[in-house]
Amino acid sequence: MFSAENIIREFFSQFQAFFNKQSFVLFEMIVLSLLTRYYQDASLVQVWRWQDYSKHWTNIPRFVRCYKWEPLTLSNVLLRFLVRLFKLRELYFVADTTLCERYSWRLPCVFRRWILKFRRYGYAQEWVVVSIVLPRLMARERFRIYGLMAALWDKTKKATHLLEEMLLRLRLPEWCRPYLIVDAGLNSVVPEGWHIITRLRLDARLYGEPLPSRPGKRGRKPLKGKRYYAEKVFYRAKDKVILSYRNQEPKVVVRYWRVHQWGYRRALVLICQPVAHPEWRPIVLATTDVEMSPQTLLNLYSARLEIERLFQDVKKNGAFGKYRGKKRVAHERFNNLVLLSQSLKQLIAEKGEITAIDLNEPWRKRKDAYSLSPNQLRRVLEAYHLSEKIMQLLPIREKMQKIPFFKERIFQGLARIL
């Protein structure tokens, strides 16, 4: 039985081996503080008591900047936890890039970019985020997505090279089949042993099967055959099939061609156009798994749009991209902690045991102030980490104190209760 409390206990038990006692308490408090806006009773789960760590929230920047732990290790632990919890056999990874607008160019890897949301130039950081989609929810319209890891992009390498390095460092179980679902900007990344599901450009170089070489003819074996243009094939094809895709009915033409950018690897290619919009140009989807059905390909590619909801969640309701330190490692560590807390929140939301909490925090003076500094994170913990049961057990004198500021007397009383 996987209740919310058991999930939290097992979740944190997987990470104990990678921290010492003090750093693990701080790691647990950071993740739970980002979770308390969705689940109020998470504060009751503690591996070590509060009294064992006296400084509490005063060392969050130091923990992110100085403690010896790697975000990649935490991502692999989270991946193994999800594989074991949901008994996964096929792993569907979704990757995409996102921009985080910054107030200054002095922070690491900040460049002047065109901000599409505000229609102006500004300073921003570009992040490459890898997440995973649960296969057991593929039959529904809305998928459940979990953030795994994030890496900060700079001008020394391309985003595709950074994504390939991130995928190769993931420790996948031997029995699992990994799939990568990306958009057209990252479709050149195909790690060895992986299958890719992506969208291709209309002018992509697609070729048929090579003609067999004649016996006794000198030279290498041909890798490709006749070249095809997807848009021309779609308008001339007579074998169009109508499938379902996100409450729409697209006309689909199914072909098996070889793709140039994947080394002339044989792929399943779908050329789609909505029935309700015949004036639109067709869309080309492709996958290297030629045994996959066309309807499954459409369903899996629609899961890629869920990563946009992930970005909205971790940026608006979390602290993704809000760290203001001067070290690149600290930025990556902090954002990976935000993704860890988001994944734990999704696990609890899967069980339907979220406590309704008012999201209008009293300390926010401006409506547009969504940046959560370490001090604001401490206040989140102070404001929402106390449940009503704990408040009833506290003496009256301690209730009269300023509880949101967590004075030492109140902290000692909470340690005895917890």
What tens digit of pLDDT does each residue of 164-179 get?
999 999 999 888 899 9
Average pLDDT on 277-304 reads 92
Q: Would you say residue 369 has pLDDT above 70?
A: no
Whole-number pLDDT of residue 395:
54
Average pLDDT on 212-232 reads 83
CA dist 294 and 301 (Å) reads: 11
Whole-number pLDDT of residue 353:
39
Whole-number pLDDT of residue 350:
66
Whole-number pLDDT of residue 94:
96
Say which residue, 356 or 284, is predicted with more confidence. 284
Say which residue, 111 or 135, is predicted with more confidence. 111
Average pLDDT on 349-377 reads 43
**Candidate ranges 2-11, 127-136, 350-359; pick with highest mean pLDDT:** 127-136
* DSSP line for 9-45: HHHHHTTGGGS-HHHHHHHHHHHHHHHTTT-GGGGG-
Say which residue, 201 or 382, is predicted with more confidence. 201
Question: Percent of the chain at pLDDT above 90?
Answer: 33
Tell me the pLDDT tens digit for each residue of 319-334: 788 888 888 998 999 8
pLDDT band for 349, please (50, 70, 90 cuts).
low
Calculate the average pLDDT of the chain.
Answer: 77
pLDDT band for 258, please (50, 70, 90 cuts).
very high
Q: Where are the beta strands (DSSP E) in 237-288?
A: 241-242, 250-259, 265-274, 283-287
Q: Would you say residue 413 has pLDDT above 70?
A: no
Say which residue, 104 or 161, is predicted with more confidence. 161
Q: Would you say residue 357 has pLDDT above 70?
A: no
First-to-last alpha carbon distance for the chain, in angstroms, is 24
With the CA atoms of 395, 397, 403 and 407 taken in that order, what torsion angle do they form, in degrees rounded to the nearest 10? -100
Whole-number pLDDT of residue 360:
43
Q: Would you say residue 95 has pLDDT above 80?
A: yes
Average pLDDT on 181-208 reads 92
Residue 131 token pair:
């997440």
Q: Would you say residue 382 has pLDDT above 70?
A: no
For tokens 């042993």, name the residue: 193
Q: Would you say residue 2 has pLDDT above 60?
A: no
Average pLDDT on 213-230 reads 82
Per-domain residue ranges for the chain? Answer: 4-197+306-350, 203-211+221-281, 390-417
3-state secondary structure of 349: helix
pLDDT band for 80, please (50, 70, 90 cuts).
very high
pTM for the whole thing?
0.78
Tell me the pLDDT tens digit for each residue of 33-49: 666 544 444 333 333 33
Average pLDDT on 380-405 reads 46
Q: Which of 259, 279, 260, 283 is nearest to 271 (CA)?
A: 283
Backbone CA torsion sign across 110, 334, 19, 77: negative
CA dist 269 and 281 (Å) reads: 16
